[in-house]
């Protein structure tokens, strides 16, 4: 970057206002508009009935002004005229006040939901005409290259909403769909270059709103992936920031490696040490804490400084804008442990004040329950978190043999630690998973063992929390380690594909069995509301076997999980704690039929039984 306040054109716009519009009747009626141009601005006015300009303050960069407006209670929908003085000239644009759309249903998620995670570029290509967009830094698509764009888009996501619902999913979380105008690897979405623009290679703004509306029409929910720690180096606010304090580790230097430069990387003053423990460690060095929150995530992603009040307001208003604009139901927040934590509390409080039932869960990538408890305790408005401690437990239970205090005992220990989270049934609101877009595919982790695959999914769908499944899990995708490989194209999502997960064409016998099993588990959760809402009890594990139950005054669902290669026997006298007889007759919710317990119940080798009894 040649200078802090460069004067490159702003995406061919002569005058830009963020947020691009607002709504009458909103609970937030005081906004700080970020007005920008490709020339120096000397003043800005906003003229419309019902809008009062509170202040017009220049930013350090003369291309920007912070214009605070207040929307009066009697304001009507319509257009305001924004006039900026540029030297001796005046330039104009419109800024609109809109009518709020009524919500079809209250936002939010609960422990009855099931999340389906999608990598949009790799799910389905519904509109090949947007595969190559003129003006974007990275052009074209190449399905043979793991880190190039493949062409998946919103049209493809919309076309296959019924398929996602057929799996029992009630909510969809796509990786970010905002513009990533970066020179390479722009497919993943986490190097955002415009907070208000859907990436045109995914489609239009209307396509995104239509996708959300399509979910709501099916009784499903939309989750938006939010990123506050960093942006891409191509972001116009980084290329020419309102003030140098918007970003940490300033200034950076061009990368020395030509290959890094081709990826849009720069050489930051320092990178993050990726040690979340520094934020609660009583012995941590101050410099280490600073590097955790202020260091760049990677060289292509500048670190955003939420301590700057104007930057903080920009990000908060953007979040509220998307909630209202698209009628979203929840946020998943990327890299929660890296931004300034005081800013994250401020942001979270603003979201909950704006939409109290809105669901927000963090990517708090920790390795222990006590660390997870720290972040939940220090962010009291946070609804939930991606449950990494449970993830590590499930991995150990399914991927390798159990011991006295490992394997199934790791799940038992993770559940027992729920007391740390400080509020009633906190674990219900945690998002559980077996893999995701950053971790190797679950089927690969279990050595492509279909029995262990079924065991893991059976537990995921019946333990406490909100389960999340990654697209393609149902097709036994198995890539490990390489991000580009594990985010592979969904079969049938492209014209000419010889196999299709959507129709079943060309799938192997094992793939058909796995997909049917995922559908069966999804239907099982939907048909049995006791799972996730009833009382929960777990029983101490016996090496590879582990039992737990959901129960109420009228019914019991008992789950018997076994990670060992041999059958385990379980004395049915242990069900006395559930208030039922050891000789109760159960319905087998997986295999069908009934099971009348005698002195003992059997845990199938490398398997799971889900049994229901009526009191």
Phi, psi of 473 (to 5 degrees): -55, -40
CA atoms within 13 A on the CB side of 470: 23
Cα–chain center distance at 606: 31
- Are 339 and 228 within 8 A, CB to CB? yes
47: DSSP letter: E
| Helix/strand/coil percent split, the chain, to 5 | 30, 25, 45
Rounded-to-integer distance, Cα 361 and Cα 109, Å: 10
**Rounded to the nearest 10 degrees, how much is the dihedral formed by the CA atoms of 295, 300, 303, 304?**
180
Residue owning tokens 């279909």: 450
Six-digit token string for 210: 């239509």
R_g of the chain computed on alpha carbons: 26
Task: Report the distance separating Cα 575 and Cα 598, nearest Å.
Answer: 12
- Cis bond leading into 251, ω under 30°? yes
Residue showing tokens 């257009």: 79
Q: What phi and psi, each to the nearest 5 degrees, are found at residue 245?
A: -75, -5
Contact 465, 390 (CB under 8 A): yes
Annotated catalytic sites, by residue? 334, 363
């Amino acid at each position: 970057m040649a200078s802090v306040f460069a004067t490159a054109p702003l995406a061919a716009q002569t005058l830009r206002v963020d947020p691009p519009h607002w709504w009458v009747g909103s609970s937030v009626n005081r906004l700080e508009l970020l007005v920008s141009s490709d020339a120096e601005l000397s003043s800005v006015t906003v003229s419309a009935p019902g809008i009062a300009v509170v202040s017009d303050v220049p930013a350090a960069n003369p291309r920007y002004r912070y214009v605070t407006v207040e929307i009066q209670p009697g304001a009507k929908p319509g257009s305001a005229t924004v006039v900026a003085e540029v030297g001796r000239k005046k330039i104009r644009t419109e800024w609109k006040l809109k009518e709020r759309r009524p919500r079809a249903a209250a936002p939010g998620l609960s422990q009855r939901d099931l999340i389906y995670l999608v990598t949009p570029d790799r799910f389905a290509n519904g509109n090949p005409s947007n595969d190559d967009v003129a003006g974007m830094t990275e052009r074209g698509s190449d399905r043979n290259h793991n880190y190039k764009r493949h062409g998946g888009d919103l049209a493809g996501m919309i076309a296959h909403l019924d398929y996602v619902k057929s799996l029992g999913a009630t909510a969809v979380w796509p990786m970010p769909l905002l513009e990533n105008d970066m020179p390479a690897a722009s497919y993943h979405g986490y190097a955002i270059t415009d907070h208000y623009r859907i990436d045109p290679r995914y489609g239009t703004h209307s396509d995104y709103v239509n996708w959300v509306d399509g979910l709501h029409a099916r009784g499903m929910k939309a989750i938006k992936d939010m990123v506050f720690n960093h942006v891409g180096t191509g972001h116009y606010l980084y290329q020419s920031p309102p003030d140098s304090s918007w970003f940490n580790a300033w200034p950076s230097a061009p990368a020395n490696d030509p290959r890094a430069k081709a990826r849009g990387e720069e050489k930051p003053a320092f990178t993050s040490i990726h040690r979340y423990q520094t934020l609660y460690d009583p012995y941590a060095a101050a410099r280490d804490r600073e590097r955790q929150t202020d260091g760049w995530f990677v060289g292509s992603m500048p670190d955003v400084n939420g301590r700057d009040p104007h930057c903080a307001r920009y990000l908060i208003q953007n979040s509220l804008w998307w909630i209202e604009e698209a009628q979203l139901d929840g946020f998943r927040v990327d890299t929660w442990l890296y931004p300034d934590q005081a800013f994250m509390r401020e942001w979270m409080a603003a979201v909950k004040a704006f939409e109290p039932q809105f669901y927000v869960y963090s990517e708090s990538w920790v390795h222990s329950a006590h660390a997870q408890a720290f972040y939940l305790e220090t962010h009291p408005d946070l609804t939930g978190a991606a449950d990494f401690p449970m993830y590590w437990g499930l991995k150990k239970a399914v991927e390798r043999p159990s011991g006295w205090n490992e394997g199934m005992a790791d799940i038992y220990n993770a559940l027992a630690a729920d007391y740390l989270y400080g509020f009633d049934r906190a674990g219900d609101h945690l998002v559980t998973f077996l893999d995701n877009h950053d971790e190797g595919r679950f089927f690969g982790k279990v050595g492509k063992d279909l029995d262990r695959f079924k065991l893991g999914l059976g537990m995921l769908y019946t333990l406490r929390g909100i389960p999340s499944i990654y697209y393609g899990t149902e097709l036994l995708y198995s890539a490990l380690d390489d991000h580009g490989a594990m985010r592979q194209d969904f079969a049938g999502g492209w014209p000419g594909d010889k196999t299709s997960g959507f129709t079943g064409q060309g799938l192997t016998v094992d793939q058909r069995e796995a997909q049917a099993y995922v559908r069966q588990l999804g239907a099982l959760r939907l048909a049995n509301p006791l799972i996730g809402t009833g009382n929960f009890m777990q029983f101490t594990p016996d090496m590879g076997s582990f039992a737990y139950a959901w129960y109420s005054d009228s019914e019991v669902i008992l789950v018997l999980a076994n990670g060992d290669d041999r059958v385990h026997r379980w004395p049915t006298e242990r069900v006395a704690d559930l208030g039922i007889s050891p000789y109760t007759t159960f319905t087998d919710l997986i295999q069908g039929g009934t099971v009348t317990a005698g002195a003992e119940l059997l845990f199938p080798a490398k398997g799971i039984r889900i049994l229901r009894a009526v009191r």
